[in-house]
Amino acid sequence: MTRTLDYLLDRNVAWSLAKTRDDPAYFRRMAEQQSPSYLWIGCSDSRVTANDVLGLDPGEVFVHRNIANVVHTSDLNILSVLEFAIQHLRVRHIIVCGHYGCGGIERALSEERSAMVDHWLQPITMFHRKHRAHFDRLSSRTALLDRVSELNIEMQVRRIATMPLVENAWSRGQDLHLHGWIYGMHDGLIRDLGPHVSSIEERDALPSIDQRVFHAEEPASGLRRHALEAFGSLKLTDDLASPSCCMPDEH
């Protein structure tokens, strides 16, 4: 006997009523033509949803998701999404956002093999194998998975930047910016990983992804950035800059 999902339909009704109760015009606005400024290319992991982590309403971000946020240049799905986003929606920002604790990255680094998922993850697997001597020096399995997750994002941003579709947009002067981000499951914060690319010249000036293996940088969350800006703006008084407890004894 077919099992229906009535409990999910009931939750939908409750959600719809709550939305219109708080904002009667909500669905009228949503029914209008979407005009997002952002294309989000993220992981299919059910715990990472673009609108939620960005605090944006539906219609404000165009979304493509797949296992481990991989950009295959032969994948008609992602190519179609990119074409529609760039040429029709005229998005200004393309964000590749992965996350720590990614099951796809863990699978890519495992010894298991199957016909489909491992074909999809093969670029990550091969990249890990290429630099295995370096990766094996990392302090723990968690450190390895985190670092490969970060490098995978950087690699996918570079792949998008090489696509003729993106090159053509830049050549005709379209305002288009690529960003690499990573999301922390443990605290709900997005960290700015980079690279940020806005032109062919900036793309061509990037170090290769192979070089980036040896130059790890701590990604900065918005919270950390605000804290650094706040403390960086403080000016110490003479007393604080040279407290008496730290002054040399003149006697």
Which of 99, 107, 179, 191 is catalytic? The answer is: 99
Residue 126 CB contacts under 8 Å (≥ 6 apart), including other chains? none
- Select which of 102, 128, 159, 191 is catalytic: 102
Which residues fall within 8 angstroms of residue 95, CB to CB, at 6 or more apart?
38, 39, 40, 41, 179, 180, 181
**Which numeric CATH code is attached to 32-221?**
3.40.1050.10
pLDDT number for residue 250 = 47
Q: Measure the CA–CA gap between 74 and 72, rounded to whole angstroms.
A: 5
| Residue 168, both tokens | 């053509």
Residues of the chain falling short of pLDDT 50:
240, 244, 246-247, 250-251
Name the active-site residue from 45, 107, 159, 203.
45
Structure tokens at 79: 């190519």
Q: Model's pTM, two decimal places?
A: 0.86
Q: Where are the domains of the chain?
A: 32-221
Q: What is the pLDDT of residue 233?
A: 62
Q: Which residues pair with 197 in a beta bridge?
A: 178
Q: Is 92 a catalytic residue?
A: no
Give pLDDT, residue 239.
Answer: 52
Is 245 among the catalytic positions? no
Is-catalytic flag, 47?
Answer: yes
Q: 176-225, pLDDT tens digit by residue?
A: 999 999 999 999 999 999 999 999 999 999 999 999 999 988 887 877 77
Q: What Rg do the C-alpha atoms of the chain give, in angstroms?
A: 23
Give the model's pLDDT for residue 235: 58
Phi, psi angles (nearest 5°) of residue 90: 55, 45
Which pLDDT score, from 0 to 100, does residue 200 have? 98
From 47, 113, 129, 132, active-site residue = 47
Instruction: Please indicate whether residue 45 is annotated as part of the active site.
Output: yes
* φ and ψ of 123, to 5 deg: -60, -35
User: What integer pLDDT is reported at residue 28 of this predicted model?
Assistant: 85
